[in-house]
Structure 1
Amino acid sequence: KAEAEAKAEAEAKAEAEAKAKAEEEARIKAEEEAKAKAEEEARIKAEAEAKAKAEEEAKAKAEEEARIKAEEEARIKAKEEAKAQAEAEAKAKDEAEAKAKAEEEAR
């Protein structure tokens, strides 16, 4: 009888140890999976933030380039308009002088 009790006790102890080991392995596996999931989510978030930052920087650069181009075009246009105005004024002055000279000679 004592032998049967000792055997049953040993079996119960072995079962308890096997159960504890299985629970520990399951806990470790769950922790590793949670860690891997958190790392994957952090990686995805970092990639999304990097993409958003790159897009924002590209947009800002494009806006700056467009502003510089518009300013350059406005400067060129203003220069051309000033040149055309100066030429028109010079032509008008020459015509007025020629007319005055012709009138003077006609007298």
Structure 2
Amino acid sequence: MTPKYAAAALSALIAYFAYHAFAGEQGLGRWTDLQQELSEKQAELDAITAANDVLRRDIARLTPGRVDPDLVEIMAREDLNLVYADEIIIINDSSGAAF
């Protein structure tokens, strides 16, 4: 093999590996995409962990023998739409309909 063909073959080999290093399936472009995806998943995990902590605190406050009456009242008002008999209810029409 002449040096001219060896240089061309070596250049082609370097070009092949350089292309796959930057644009290949596991190249630098994919690496930056994975870093972005990782940060999004980390933010999602943090939000889920925070919500889980809130639920754990609520469970601790509802443990038999240590029930927090304020939490029970809040839950009854929000989840069951319960009100006291002497309260006035104002309905806010947020649909934007004109009367």
Q: TM-score range by the shorter chain?
A: 0.3 to 0.5
Which has the greater radius of gyration? Answer: 1
TM-score (norm 1): 0.44
TM-score normalised by structure 2 residue count: 0.47
